[in-house]
Amino acid sequence: MSDRNARTTPTIDNPQREAPRRVIEWAQAPPIPPGATGVVTIDLSQIRANWRALAKRVAPAGCGAVVKADAYGLGAARVIPALYHAGCRNLFVATLAEAKAALAYAPGATVYVLDGILPGAARELAGIGARPVMASIEEARAWAALAPPDSPAPPAALHVDTGLNRLGLSEDEFAALISDAELMRRLDIALIMSHLACADEAQHPMNREQLDAFKRMRSKLPKARASLAASDGLMLGKEFHFDLVRPGYALYGGQASPQRVTPVEPVVRVSARILQVHEVPAGGRIGYSATYRAASPRRIATVAAGYADGVFRHASASNETPGGAVAVRGKLAPIVGRVSMDLITVDVTDVGDPAPARGDFVDLIGPDLPLEAVGLSARTIGYEVLTRLGTRFYRHYVDIGD
């Protein structure tokens, strides 16, 4: 996850990946309300298929699922039961509120809380049966304090930092923790985990350094299960799988590793409607601050999607700087001018017959516009594209069974 913004591939013009095999066709299928300006279509059966494909790839290691941030913006209430149905029993969320929701959607699942124990929150976490991922000795103490005399506190996980310097105990702190016999007696550490900084670059030397540090630490807690890899890490090979992998993005169809094609397919399509098509003469200005000037007569479609719907304002285009695009019947039509709150303007001059018309749908994310390309064109990553999807579009869940 080191330098994703600097990726050179894929780009809008050069997606460098084979087109998704399973074209998501259902965006325009009924029952879309006539007043819906856009549709987010989410294929729950494909999320299950993606989970199964990853589970198969890492077996005999186990495969969990990261469902934080409302299942990466796709709707935890629908995604979590689908994953549970596929056999997924280990869920990772960020917060206490997300853990509560996850346990309501998947009673019986083991839910790990990546943000650990906030001051004063231990009792409530234990009360709902969630497992905090403890990242400090203070958190371990707060959890141990819940233990009745002579028995350990409920199972929890331990986050050790192997070089990301984000969350977790350093190797020294870890050594101090495990040498505190009194404290350790009151803890039941079911999982030891760490997180990789550069797993999206298979050749990066940090992968090996972090792997070695993780092996050193986990060997001192032989009874705990161990977890190191997320979506990109699990593509680094068996050595990185340990007992449990924790993919998020890949379940949602994301290609986290630019060098290795993860065996998953897209699950989300986002389409929005054209409100108006008009001809702009040569010299005409388009959008706020008149940042775009038509060099020749252009046909411009105004689409009912803006930054409130998750179209990044960084996807705006001036004459000097190209921005994002939408896909119209398999052709990319560039955004021209500024992205505003509710609207974008796209140049559909070259789309061909029949000319795009009022009420037609265009894709913001879809078979011709993979998440990675959409992220790149807004100077961000597909992860942020997903988690910023707005709530205004009609949400259509598809499930064609196993």
Q: Interface residues with ligand PLP (CB under 6 A)?
A: 66, 68, 114, 195, 230-232, 246-250, 256
Nearer CB in complex with ligand PLP: 66/122: 66
- Which ranges of 22-170 does DSSP label H, i.e. alpha helix? 44-58, 68-72, 76-86, 96-105, 122-128, 137-144
- Cis peptide preceding 334, ω within 30 of 0: no
CB of 253 to ligand PLP, least distance (A): 11
For this structure, is 307 an active site residue? no
The one catalytic residue in 56, 220, 238, 288 is: 288
Closest to ligand PLP by CB, 135 vs 274, is 135
The CA-atom distances, in angstroms, between 170 and each of 97, 205, 226 are: 27, 19, 16
**66/311 with CB nearer ligand PLP:** 66
Looking at beta carbons, which residue is closest to ligand PLP? 248
Smallest distance from ligand PLP to CB 96, Å = 16
C-alpha separations of 397 from 25, 94, 280 in Å? 13, 24, 38
Question: Per-residue DSSP letters for 181-225?
Answer: HHHHHT--EEEEE---SSTTSTT-HHHHHHHHHHHHHHTTSTTSE
Verify whether residue 112 is a known catalytic residue: no
- Among 173, 217, 178, 175, smallest CA distance to 194 is for 217
Cα 11 to Cα 91, 173, 267, 371, 375, distances in angstroms: 32, 43, 20, 11, 9
Spatial contact of 220 and 213, defined as CB atoms under 8 Å apart = no
Minimum CB distance to ligand PLP, residue 310 (Å): 18
Q: How many Å apart are CA 48 and CA 41, to the nearest integer?
A: 15
Among the options 56, 68, 249, 394, which is catalytic?
68
User: What secondary structure letter does DSSP report for 317?
Assistant: B
| Three-state SS at 342 | coil
What does the angle CA 229 – CA 233 – CA 235 come to, to the nearest 5 degrees? 125
Nearer to ligand PLP (CB atom), residue 317 or residue 386? 386
- The closest alpha carbon to 329, from 351, 308, 344, belongs to 351
Q: Least CB distance from residue 230 to ligand PLP, whole Å?
A: 3
Q: How many CA atoms lie within 13 A of 373 on its CB side?
A: 24
Q: Shortest gap between Cβ of 365 and ligand PLP (angstroms)?
A: 17
For the CB of residue 297, give the shortest distance to ligand PLP in the complex, in Å. Answer: 45
**Toward ligand PLP, which CB reaches closer, 241 or 338?**
241
User: 278 near 296, Cβ under 8 Å?
Assistant: no
Q: Which one, 4 or 273, has the nearer CB to ligand PLP?
A: 4
- Kindly list the catalytic residues: 68, 288
